[in-house]
Amino acid sequence: MSPIIVLEETIANKIAAGEVVERPASVVKELVENSLDAGADSIDIEIREGGKEYIRVVDNGRGIPSDEVPLAFERHATSKIRSADDLFRIVTLGFRGEALPSIAAVSELEMVTRPEESPMGTLIAFSGGRRTRLESVGAPAGTAVTVKRLFFNTPARYKFLNQAASERRYVYDIVGRLALANPEVRFRLVSDGEEIFVTPGDGNMEAVIWSIYGSRVGKYLVPVYRESGHVVISGYICRPEIHRGNRQAETFIVNGRVVESSLLASAMEKGYQTMLPRRRYPIGVLTLTLDPSKIDVNVHPTKREIRLSDSSEVYKQVLLAVKHALEISIPFDPWAFPGSDETSQDADQPGFVQETLEPPIVKERSAAAVSYATSRRETESPTVHRHSSAGLSPEVPPRRTLSDAVPSQCGAAGTSPARHWASHRIIGQFQATYILVEADRELLLIDQHVAHERILYEGFLAELQTSSVKTQPLLVPLHLELGPAAAARVIEWSRKLAELGFEVEQFGVKDCLVRSVPVGLTSIAVKDLEELLLGIIAAGETSDYRHNALVLMACKGAVKAGEELTPAAMQDLVDSLLSTKNPFTCPHGRPVIVRLALDDIHRRFGRR
Amino acid sequence: MRFATTQGEMLRCLDMVGRAVANRDVNPILTGIYLECENGRLTVRATDSEIGIEACTSVESDQPGKVVVEAKYFLPLVRRLPGGDVFVQELPEHQMLEIRAGTGSFRFQTMAADQFPALAAAEPKPLLRMPSQIAVRMIRQTVYAAQKDQGHSVFGGVLMEYADGELRFVATDTSRLCFNRAAVPNGENFKMILPARTCVELQRLLPSNPDSMLEIASLGSQVLFRLETEDVILVSRLLEGQYPDYTRVIPSQTDTEILASCSELISALERAELMGKKGPAIVTLSVEEGIMKLESRDVELGEANESLSIEQKGPSVTSAFQVRFLLDMLKTTDSDKVRMGLSSGLSPGMIRPVDDDDYIYVLMPVRVI
């Protein structure tokens, strides 16, 4: 056995670097967080080759006095905490004192820094952890750190880096999140000479979202605000018309720190429940302000994961915040039909589709910014609503800003969005599938099946939630011929089915008798009932059976597409729909109402 | 083919068969109306292969023949012709049918009449002959309880059964059941399940004329109805399957019997029905000391409460029902008063017109879990 020795400092630093510095993006993150901690209100980040060759972070922060500069590169040297007690009151972003020495250990690092009050700045440089320069130089106030040839002395790590394109994506992602967390700081990100985005740095988070995600997302933003007990939740989420194939666009900022939290992610997704298609994820930025003593951020060296001491309460509040925000929001891009292609629309109607609303701050988005947005879109399925930007009509309330979202709209949360239309009139039925409705200055196309699904779903849900499930016992029990395996499963599930209003009992080995059904499904056909019960069981074995069951029940009970409706039936359906909590999406996440604004129709006819 | 008739007579025949025209052109010929003239008799026929209707009338004719014309345009034309004589003539060389009325002359493309299906190969022997009026009432008092649009399930149909000298109609959607019977002498026993739509179409054809007679005959998997005086036949496919034993469903007695005014009950229920914003409205009927209280509520909307004075026989009882189910029956009752049998717990309730034992309605109460 080898004798135990104390590691040389450079080796220890290389090991520590492995914890903090995984890839260029983590270098960028550490450096930007240092800049933020230094009170910078403008940070420029430039990378080349995805940061593998070159990273430069320039800020206008406080800078480091020349006598403290060498100290900054010693491990556990930090200006941010003094004792272990301070760990529980962390308000700065970096504190472990590992970042700079760790990065210096695995790259060629050069830092130029000058506090505003000093006449001269300091330049310090390292190569593979060994100091190569330390001298006084003339420099602008602030700190500029350049990191070149990352991992040049740890080839094993270098090998594990991905191609520049994907490293670049990690950098965009982290800078984007940091920019979202710090809307009061101007961020500028440049990659291989192209400007990816610039945020205004005026404290307006919505503007940051526009800058980063572009107008397509920006136009669908819904403000979120909720204050409860010791949690304040604010931010923006995107309406369910736009969604992603992964969780990349879910950003959570807890006490100013960008965190990853499966708890928060699932709370946000739960808030969208029934509005997003399966395995699609929302886009949103939520800022949570909590008592710092309620969170433990020192779980992981990169500080991306946090632990909450009051997780179930936070979960609930996030869920409610998202849910209420969506309930009072309204979609307004009438021509954005699912599956239609943005570029071809632009090409086909050059006079019609025009940018009527510019992103509020960003004047010109460079080609690189567009390509960034495009590369993100590539992950989206073709069912995503494409956004033609002409949809904004004056009748639609302007996008709300955070400030006016605060008290009044929280008060209104939970009331039906039907109040957005003063009156409505049924025009008729199209293809025995869609109901055409005139509502104020809009033409609504309502899918009768999904509309009815939404009504039934909320009805069933209300019964279940108030423990008043109404069940209709049958005069003639329905006989399901299921076969032994399926019959046994139905019987196993009989208690859960009973909660939903289905009373089933065994009838021989292969068959079941259904003795009662939920009142809303009275006179369901045997075939449909059989499908429904087996569907509930199949869906329930993987996840929350109640929700899935209600969705399936609503689907079976709803009028079908192709069924002709009398004017009275249409009126009934539309009235009930508009009184639901969310008339805009069906429980499967499909849209229920497509809205065409009068102004857009006028424009199509060249009237203005 | 050449014949002369009046616009009114021609329209009467076309209107009767018009509802059987296929509205989707699965088989294009079935979107047409078949006209055949032979021995001074005009036959007009339409079928969508589920049901078929044929109407006949006497015409003056000097040339027999048969043609098919597209119903969608032919029927409205005849409706818009002026009253009076109509002359119809086939122009085989042009494959046209010419209609002349007043000063107008109209021509329609014809389709190959050979391909139009016949309704019945041979004239079957009737199983039962009865006054049309009885059938009208029995259909009206049962068909609403059948399941709507349920394709080939027996619950989407009406059981029509003849035994022991009485004709019985039964319909159920599994939560409620209608039973209706009438004494009709001299029939042969049979049991058929008619699709609900067939009943509706038959009901539409049946005249209120008290002398009109209806014949029922079997064509194997189909049924044939003949209206003698009107010279109309309707042929329909039957539903296959085992109809549940309705006799076990009708309770022999109930705990409490009440006698209530039908019109009062209907208006009270129509008010209660409004409390159904989320899902079907439910009314709780509480009977105590000659008063029936009706209560309904909707979590989001509010509630409705009222009382009716009734005659009560038996103990106090409370039961909840879907309002629509009660109204369906009450609105088809011809009597001023109804007898309602209620039992506690989950036993079915029963409603009958006061003076009529031939119309029985059984329905299951709703339970809240």
Give the other-Cβ count within 10 Å of A172's Cβ: 24
Question: Domain containing B319: what range?
Answer: 256-363
Same domain, B50 and B151: no
Give the list of residues 6+ apart from residue A56 with CB closer than 8 angstroms, or none: A44, A45, A46, A47, A144, A145, A146, A147
Q: Which residue is associated with the tokens 């003094």?
A: A82
The pLDDT value given to residue A18: 60
The pLDDT value given to residue A375: 39
Q: In the predicted model, is pLDDT for residue B137 greater than 90?
A: yes
Which one of A491-495, A580-584, B192-196, B275-279 scores highest in mean pLDDT?
B192-196
The pLDDT value given to residue A419: 53
Structural tokens at position A345: 């629309």
The pLDDT value given to residue A17: 60
Q: Is residue B369 part of a domain?
A: no
* Residues of chain B contacting A452 with CB distance shorter than 8 Å: none
Same domain, B307 and B207: no
Question: Cα angle at B246 between B245 and B248, to 5 degrees?
Answer: 80
The pLDDT value given to residue A79: 57
Beta-carbon separation of B278 and A463 below 8 A: yes
Could you tell me the pTM of the whole model? 0.57
Give the list of residues 6+ apart from residue A159 with CB closer than 8 angstroms, or none: none
Nearest to A519 among B147, B155, B279 (CB): B279
Chain B contact residues (CB < 8 Å to A):
147-151, 153, 155-156, 172-177, 244, 249, 277-280, 282, 299-300, 322, 346, 348, 362-369
The order of strands in the sheet holding B282-288 is B302-309, B291-298, B282-288, B317-322
Residue of A nearest to B175 (CA): A474
Indicate the pLDDT class of residue B68, thresholds 50, 70 and 90.
very high
Q: Is residue B368 part of a domain?
A: no
Q: What is the nearest CA distance from A500 to chain B, expressed in angstroms?
A: 9
Would an 8 Å CB–CB cutoff place A563 in contact with chain B? Answer: yes
> Any bridge partners for residue B179, and if so which?
B170, B360
Same domain, B336 and B280: yes
Beta-carbon separation of B174 and A475 below 8 A: yes
The pLDDT value given to residue A370: 38
* Residues of chain A contacting B303 with CB distance shorter than 8 Å: none
**Mean pLDDT of all residues in chain B?**
91
For residue B288, CA distances in Å to A456, B285, B307, B337, B346 come to 35, 10, 11, 19, 18
CA–CA separation, A162 vs B226, rounded Å? 83
Beta-carbon separation of A478 and B153 below 8 A: no
State the amino acid at position A449 in one-letter form: H
Same domain, B159 and B238: yes
Residue of B nearest to A523 (CA): B173
Beta-carbon separation of A519 and B148 below 8 A: no
Convert chain B into a string of H (helix), E (strand) and C (coil): CEEEEEHHHHHHHHHHHHCCCCCCCCCHHHHEEEEEEECCEEEEEEECCCEEEEEEEECEEEECEEEEEEHHHHHHHHHHCCCCEEEEEEEHHHCEEEEEECCEEEEEEEECHHHCCCCCCCCCCCCEEEEHHHHHHHHHCCHHHCCCCCCCCHHHEEEEEEECCEEEEEEECCCEEEEEEEECCCCCCEEEEEEHHHHHHHHHHCCCCCCCEEEEEECCCEEEEEECCCCEEEEEECCCCCCCCHHHCCCCCCCEEEEEEHHHHHHHHHHHCCCCCCCCCEEEEEEECCEEEEEEEECCCEEEEEEEECEEECCCEEEEEEHHHHHHHHCCCCCCEEEEEECCCCCCEEEEECCCCCEEEEECCCEEC
The pLDDT value given to residue A4: 61
Same domain, B100 and B134: no
Same domain, B24 and B85: yes
Q: Which 450-509 residues of chain A touch chain B by CB within 8 A? A: 455-456, 458-460, 462-463, 466, 468-478, 498-499, 501
Q: What is the nearest CA distance from B158 to chain A, expressed in angstroms?
A: 15
Same domain, B160 and B268: no
Q: B248, B279, B297: which is the final residue of a domain? A: B248
Would an 8 Å CB–CB cutoff place A262 in contact with chain B? Answer: no
The pLDDT value given to residue A21: 80
* Residues of chain A contacting B153 with CB distance shorter than 8 Å: 525-527
The pLDDT value given to residue A158: 83
pLDDT digit string (tens) for B50-59? Answer: 899 999 999 9
In order along chain A (608 residues), what is the average pLDDT of each group of 10 residues? 57 62 88 89 92 92 87 67 51 57 89 89 89 88 91 83 84 89 90 88 83 79 80 86 82 84 87 80 88 69 67 86 76 40 34 32 38 38 37 38 34 43 86 90 90 88 83 89 86 88 89 90 85 85 75 87 87 86 74 83 83
Same domain, B49 and B88: yes
Same domain, B56 and B103: yes
Q: What is the nearest CA distance from A323 to chain B, expressed in angstroms?
A: 19
Same domain, B192 and B239: yes
The pLDDT value given to residue A13: 62
* Residues of chain B contacting A563 with CB distance shorter than 8 Å: 149
Q: Is residue B110 part of a domain?
A: yes
Residue of B nearest to A455 (CA): B278
Interface probe for A, chosen from B159, B174, B329 (most Cβ of A below 10 Å), is B174
Instruction: Please state whether beta strands A511-518 and A503-507 pair in parallel, antiparallel, or not at all (unpaired).
Output: antiparallel
Same domain, B242 and B132: yes
Indicate the pLDDT class of residue B13, thresholds 50, 70 and 90.
very high
Q: In the predicted model, is pLDDT for residue B251 greater than 80?
A: yes
Q: Is residue B199 part of a domain?
A: yes
Nearest to A476 among B149, B244, B346 (CB): B244
Query: Does domain A204-415 fall into CATH 3.30.230.10?
Result: yes
Domain borders along chain A are 9-198, 204-415, 418-608
* Residues of chain A contacting B173 with CB distance shorter than 8 Å: 522-523
Residue/partner pairs of B111-115 with CB below 8 Å, 24 or more apart: B111/B28, B111/B29, B111/B32, B111/B67, B111/B68, B111/B69, B111/B70, B112/B29, B112/B68, B113/B34, B113/B36, B113/B66, B113/B67, B113/B68, B115/B29, B115/B68
What does residue A27 show for φ and ψ, rounded to 5 degrees?
A: -60, -50
Stretch among A329-343, A410-424, B73-87, B96-110 having the lowest mean pLDDT: A329-343
Residue of B nearest to A558 (CA): B279
Q: Which residues of A388-406 are buried (b: 16+ CB within 10 A; e: fewer)?
A: bbbbbbeebeebbbbeebb
Q: What is the CATH number of domain A418-608?
A: 3.30.1540.20
Q: B229, B248, B267: which is the final residue of a domain? A: B248
The pLDDT value given to residue A130: 87
* Residues of chain B contacting A468 with CB distance shorter than 8 Å: 299, 368
Give the list of residues 6+ apart from residue A62 with CB closer than 8 angstroms, or none: A38, A39, A115, A116, A142
Beta-carbon separation of B366 and A472 below 8 A: yes
Question: Cα angle at B185 between B183 and B188, to 5 degrees?
Answer: 110
Under CATH, to which class is A9-198 assigned?
Answer: alpha beta
Q: B115, B143, B176: which is the final residue of a domain? A: B115
Would an 8 Å CB–CB cutoff place A343 in contact with chain B? Answer: no
* Residues of chain B contacting A459 with CB distance shorter than 8 Å: 278-279
Q: What is the CATH number of the domain that holds B55?
A: 3.10.150.10
The pLDDT value given to residue A359: 35
Same domain, B229 and B269: no
* Residues of chain A contacting B242 with CB distance shorter than 8 Å: none
What is the tally of structural domains in chain B? 3
Would an 8 Å CB–CB cutoff place A600 in contact with chain B? Answer: no
Interface probe for B, chosen from A460, A478, A523 (most Cβ of B below 10 Å), is A523
